[in-house]
A and B are shown apart, each in its own frame.
Chain A
Amino acid sequence: MNLDQALQTFITESRELLADMEHALLNIDLSQDWGDQGEAINAIFRAAHTIKGSAGLFSLDHMVAFTHVVESLLDAVRDGRAVIDDDMVALLLACCDHLSSMTDGLAAGQYEADPDTVPEGERLLQQLRRRMGAGDEPAQSLAEQPLTVRPEPDVERMGQAAGNGDSDYWHISLRFGRSVLQNGMDPIAFLRYLARLGRIAGMATVADALPAADEMDAELCYLGFEIAFESTADRAAILGVFEFVQDDCEIRLVAPRGKVSEYVELIRALPENPIRLGEMLVQCGSVTAAELAAALAQQSQQSQHPEVQGEAGAQPAQEAPQRLGSILVAAGQVAPVVVEAALTRQKQAVEQKAQENRSIRVDSDKLDRLIDLVGELIIAGARTSVIGQRLHNAELLEATSTVSNLVEQVRDAALELRMVKIGATFNRFQRVVHDVARELGKDIGLAVDGEDAELDKTVVEKIGDPLLHLVRNAMDHGIEPAAVRVAAGKPARGMITLNAFHESGSIVIEVSDDGGGLRKEKILAKAVERGLVDPERKLTDAEIYNLIFEAGFSTAETITNLSGRGVGMDVVKRNITALRGSVDVRSVEGQGATVTVRLPLTLAIIDGFLVQVGSSVFVIPLDTIEECIEFAAEPGQDYSNLRGQVLPFIRLRSLFHIAGAPTRRESIVVLRFGKVRAGLVVDTLLGEFQTVIKPLSPIFSEVRCISGSTILGSGDVALILDVGALLQAVDGRGAVAPAPALPALAV
């Protein structure tokens, strides 16, 4: 992997970590006490820590330096030296943002601090340090006590009952790996964290591995520790303290009231001289000297009779891990407990890796290329089928049919790859709602539903901004200030709800608020004032509410810097329409409003049905078609009698002003979209056809009934009908007037 790729991975992963961090920060329940917040705080610490470490690998000093201070504060929180509150959450969120902008800078090729953001960074660092300053007090009080240390090694023996190794303490043996410091971890910090779980009753620092001055590399770690630890925590909790270093540290635990034999095993497992080790165990009080001596003697005896004998007599048994010292015993017995423990760990690590590998990161461009190729494959397949039909060759037809089936399966599988859950997009809004609510001084919460609804990744990317604007709008104009809400008998906290679900081949996203709702009269008055609506016209409520999407419309008394920055609802609508979607708003005055966005599930490939009118070929999305029938109309009317029900229809020829006379036997394609059902009168039915959607040039953005184009097997271009827009012409109410003729163009 070259540096560029590695850096790209770092950028992507940092972004994910920052998202995790933000998520954890937003969800931390400040009402819980420190103990219960533990997991959330750990998650936040984990993110910052990992970013720091990785940034270090790339020598991104500005990021490392900044994250270091963030990490220190989080450390202080973990230790209980600082308490996390609302302001700290806001501060940490701001730090998240700062790191985000540094990451963005990286992506743009900037490997050093951006001078524009440095002041902001400094400001944040100052605030961080100030929050940590509160944690300095315990250290101050320590300074008040004069302290001397006896020059002789302490044998700190804690209350032990008579008998064999009755220590009430855990014994923790740590041997940190050489590269632990370079990996960004500080053993001392871990020991401090350990001390939160109990009391370090005895400690021996093992510096045997420290080499001579000239050979010592100051950035490697040569230290180990033998610790007697008093705590009610269980094994898992103690091991959990060292979670982040478990790959960089050998950790061995002996439970309280561990037998001396366990200590012997421990000694055998450790690399240092056993006498030294024995001394250290005694020094930290886990065993007494007498016990140890006795046990060692016992072991010595046992080893005189090795159980494993090679062919040539008393040959020393092969030892699995080399560090099981053979110092004590000539023919050392492999300590099964320790080896088993080591093997189990290995197996767990392997299993964990297997779990992680079940999902795979894919380059977006590669995926797009795959989809393009699948699209070309579909077109080529269609062409082959056409030829097969023309040649009337049964064998060829069967072969092309098989190919078509397979192509269809490949297509579905490829499209599946592009489907992304909308949950990630929704959860981004947690942060927005949090920040904007603070800014507005309102109490607003966000509820999210339907996070598992999937949609095409390109749609997800493009729907983010419009949704964001809808949410901000609801917060700004929809939700009332707390006092107003309470006076109206509503809870002080306003709620924004995001919901997503699938419906007839589309994905529907709803943005609701329980605010004041839309004011009909106000909207109508404004629209009339701005000349958007003829004052004589009578509009339905729905039509009035939808006026807010017209260009040049805004009823906000004060244009806040959030919603009114010239980015209006009309832009939202335009963006959604560009995705071949539709947007609609409903409201109940005093209770709230819901904006409903409807989008196609995929922008890439379509199962369609071809129809012809005149010389033009059109594609109708297959999932909108109920059936096809012969043309028949009630005399003089624009509707048909379909098994006793009224079926209004649209003559495509007149709607599109297609020249020429209709064929003798026209057909009606019965369409359904949402709640509307209508027929489409066409000359000829051409059959099913799956194809790749080619987006239309922006020059056609105002054409309402066409949602895209495609290339047929013959090479001709066919237009894809936007059934939703077409059916709006009918609206379930009956006759459709043909579109007026195009006015003469003044150029």
Chain B
Amino acid sequence: MNLAITKHGAAPLPTQYLTFLLGEERFAVGILHVKEIIEYAGTATVPMMPDCVRGVINLRGAVVPVIDLSARFGRGVAAIGKRTSIIIAEIEDGEGKQVLGMMVDAVNAVVEIEPPDIEAAPPFGAHIRADFIAGIAKCQGRFVILLALERVLSTGEVVELSRHAVPLATASSRASP
């Protein structure tokens, strides 16, 4: 199922968010970041990368990395479920525009959230890193955590992780006298 958001009908508004599930919790990202949503159909694993990088997929000829959000949030590698999907997102960082996929347990609806309804992240109680949270909003009676996508999908941070993750066999083998 390929859902291309926007382009049909009204232009996306900055107040629109795509909500999705990770475990039992609801999260949301600004719709302007979302390029498309696809069904999860496996990924090609890239060796020697931290768990939060699930692998890469072929998106119409482009090789796109997929981030396992569950692992990224420190909850362990995600299990594949019936509604597991990949949200293809675009963020802007120091190196320009990056396109990355985010693996989520299920994708929900697009909702409207006005700025006044957004509160700052609580100092404690949330189960993920504070800097991943852009804010919390109440939507249809439930709390939704708005993600600071540039932090969550930060290429720089992932690269740092991968740097420390695996020293190549070389260094350790050469080190021994």
**Chain A interfacial positions (CB closer than 8 Å to B):** 376, 379, 534, 537-538, 543, 616-617, 655-658, 694, 696-706, 709, 711, 715-719, 725, 728-729, 731, 735-740, 742-743, 745-747
Contacts and interface: CB of A to CB of B under 8 A. Distances in A.
B4 interface: no
B49 A703 contact: yes
B55 to A, nearest CB: 8
B80 interface: no
B13 interface: no
B12 interface: no
B45 A616 contact: yes
B166 A697 contact: no
Nearest to A701: B159
B175 A537 contact: yes
A736 B47 CA distance: 17
B158 interface: yes
Chain A interface SS verdict (over half): loop
B169 A709 contact: no
Contact of A745 (B50, B57, B177): B50
Contacts of A534: 175
Given A703-B46, A717-B44, A745-B51, A709 B172 contact: no
A697 B165 contact: no
The 7 lowest CB-CB distance pairs between A and B, nearest first, are A656-B47, A717-B44, A747-B74, A702-B162, A737-B173, A709-B63, A694-B63
Contacts of A736: 169, 173
Nearest to A727: B170
A695 to B, nearest CB: 8
Contact of B48 (A538, A696, A704, A729): A704
A703 B71 CA distance: 19
Nearest to A711: B58
Given A699-B162, A705-B168, A717-B63, 10 more contacts: A537-B175, A617-B44, A694-B63, A698-B159, A699-B65, A700-B162, A705-B47, A729-B173, A740-B172, A743-B165
A430 B48 CA distance: 43
B16 interface: no
B132 to A, nearest CB: 9
B116 interface: no
Contacts of A737: 169, 172-173
Contact of A698 (B47, B63, B155): B155
A737 B61 CA distance: 36
Nearest to B99: A697
Contacts of B163: 702
B64 interface: yes
User: Which one of A655, A694, A747 has the greatest number of beta carbons of chain B within 10 Å?
Assistant: A747
B48 A656 contact: yes
A747 B73 contact: yes
Interface string B127-164: 00100000000000000000000000001001101111
B171 to A, nearest CB: 10
20 contacts: A379-B61, A538-B177, A617-B44, A655-B169, A658-B45, A658-B47, A694-B62, A696-B46, A697-B65, A699-B158, A700-B49, A702-B159, A702-B162, A716-B44, A717-B44, A729-B170, A735-B173, A737-B173, A739-B169, A742-B165
Contact of A697 (B47, B100, B172, B177): B100
B58 A699 contact: no
B168 A728 contact: yes
A718 B65 CA distance: 13
Given A616-B45, A703-B162, A705-B47, A745 B168 contact: no
A316 B113 CA distance: 96
